[in-house]
Amino acid sequence: MLELIGQRVWPVGERAPMANVVKLACNFALASTIETLGEAGALAQAHGIEPRTLYEVMTGSLFASPAWRVYAGLIGEQRFEPAGFRMPLGLKDVRLALQAGEASHTPLPIASLLRDHFLAAIANGDAEKDWSALALTAFRNAGL
């Protein structure tokens, strides 16, 4: 049935929870991408380079993938509303990834950093924004 209605189906194992781990791992990777874009943009801006310019270089060469282009565009233009995926949902998925890591004795140090940055973003009033606004934490931490 899934093959009829979906674009593609990836069998990941016999147990349904295995698909949940794949989803969490994918969202964790996206959140890591957003954090990386934020930190790289803050570094560029601190040296007088517009983050949008950096993002054009990155997505036109090294990271020419849809996810990088979409999130670089949102961050570069600071287009965080309306939210496609709200900040608390990103935090929820990072927390679930951390729980899954703990259950399997898999350290996820970047996920711990992401959790803290999601909390900081929400504390700074970004809860209703798209999770790409997570990048603002890197800019704030750099005093920008």
Alpha-carbon distance of 61 to 65, in angstroms, equals 9
> What are the residues whose beta carbons fall under 8 Å from the beta carbon of 42, sequence distance 6 or more?
51, 138, 139, 141, 142, 144
Q: What are phi and psi of 90, to 5 degrees?
A: -65, -45
Kindly state the tokens that stand for 105. 């004795």
- Sequence-distant (≥ 6) Cβ neighbours of residue 11 within 8 angstroms: none
Catalytic residue from among 13, 23, 77, 116: 23
> 130: which strand partners?
86
Phi-psi region of 143 (alpha: psi -120 to 50; beta: other; left: phi over 0): left
Enter the tokens of residue 9: 């189906």
Active site residue 23: yes
Return the active site residues. Answer: 23
